[in-house]
Amino acid sequence: MILFILRRILYAIPIMFGVALVCFSLVHLAPGDPLVSVLPPDASAELQKQLRTLYGFDRSLPEQFFSWILRAVTGDLGTSIASSRSVTEEVFRAVKNTLILASFATLIGFFFGSLFGFVAGYFRDTFVDKLASFISVMGVSVPHYWLGMVLVIIFAAQLNWLPATGAGPGGSADWAWDWAHMRHLVLPAITMSVIPMGIIARTVRALVADTLAQEFIIGLRAMGLTDFGVFRHVVKNVAPTALAVMGLQLGYLLGGSILIETVFSWPGTGFLLNSAIFQRDLPLLQGTILVLAIFFVLLNVLVDILQSTLDPRITRQ
């Protein structure tokens, strides 16, 4: 068990190195001068040279990569070109906001996804199954940025029940768990929950159907267990995989929130990424992508470890 955990963590290290390399190359793949957004068009050659040295763009690429990664390990991701603030600070403030949004969305998605999945799996090939399966196909097919717009149209523009954009009175800086802030969370969280809802429903349906078809279920029924007793056994068999899928979905939402955050002007990582792209702020761009990808890798490791504690059969494979 401990060996499994250690191996899993060790395996993540080369992946993280590769991820850092991809992030770095991605940004240096970009055509054009990285300082174009801050330099005035008539900047003197001297000023250009000074800034280039300041940001380290004058050194060779491998040199830049290793100095960047060494500083990144210590938590220093450099300085944003556009705002000249610390990238680490900017990214983590945004990550906090995205995490709030993505966690709520995952919880909503997990609740409804499991519900639809269990109902569909239990009543296989009936009308209820078809309905639940149809809802989950809709969940994975809907362009979520459009769903966000439709919800804004209905609940903000037409009914005026909920705010259309933003994260509350304090803007991006101070989040509080009161209704004045929480009401801003409702529409984006529901919009975001639709994808994990569809995927979890599909997974749970297949798992429930598989479990119900196994012989031990007949054995349990033959032993005289009530329907509820059998149901508990089904849940125990479905839970590890369903929870793993939920964990991975949280990771996908953290990294994939950019479209929804753009629709709702939610001050998270997606919003930051968007401004980094359009201002060509390379340190901010590579820093944000790196943090999100590393988050995703660590979450994967955590999910694997949790899954193996819940279901010891996995470590033996």
Interaction between residue 131 and another protein (CB under 8 A): no
CB of 220 to another protein, least distance (A): 26
- Within 26-45, the residues that bind another protein by CB under 8 A are 26-27, 29-31
Structure tokens at 213: 């078809």
How long, in residues, is the chain? Answer: 317
Interaction between residue 138 and another protein (CB under 8 A): yes
Interaction between residue 152 and another protein (CB under 8 A): yes
Nearer to another protein, 238 or 258 (CB): 258
Nearer to another protein, 55 or 252 (CB): 252
CB of 111 to another protein, least distance (A): 22
∠ CA 18-23-28 to the nearest 5 degrees? 125
Q: Which of 5, 8, 15, 56 binds another protein (CB under 8 A)?
A: 15
Structure tokens at 160: 């005026």
Interaction between residue 115 and another protein (CB under 8 A): no
Interaction between residue 128 and another protein (CB under 8 A): no
Say if CB 95 and CB 291 are below 8 A apart. Answer: yes
Interaction between residue 293 and another protein (CB under 8 A): yes
CA distance 77 to 72: 5
Interaction between residue 18 and another protein (CB under 8 A): yes
Interaction between residue 303 and another protein (CB under 8 A): no
Interaction between residue 142 and another protein (CB under 8 A): yes
Instruction: State which H helix or E strand residue 295 sits in.
Output: helix 282-310
- Within 228-287, the residues that bind another protein by CB under 8 A are 251-252, 254-256, 258-259, 262-263, 273-274, 276-278, 285
CB of 178 to another protein, least distance (A): 27
Say if CB 261 and CB 86 are below 8 A apart. Answer: no
CA distance 35 to 52: 8
Nearer to another protein, 5 or 135 (CB): 135
CA distance 287 to 71: 11
Interaction between residue 140 and another protein (CB under 8 A): yes
Say if CB 198 and CB 137 are below 8 A apart. Answer: yes
Backbone angles phi, psi at 296, to 5 degrees: -65, -45
In this structure, how many other beta carbons lie within 10 angstroms of the beta carbon of residue 175? 19
CA distances from 213 to 61, 302, 312 (A): 57, 30, 22
CB of 255 to another protein, least distance (A): 3
In this structure, how many other beta carbons lie within 10 angstroms of the beta carbon of residue 228? 7
Interaction between residue 157 and another protein (CB under 8 A): yes
Instruction: Name the site residues for another protein (rule: CB under 8 A).
Output: 14-16, 18-19, 21-23, 26-27, 29-31, 137-138, 140-147, 149-150, 152-153, 157-158, 251-252, 254-256, 258-259, 262-263, 273-274, 276-278, 285, 289, 292-293, 296-297, 300
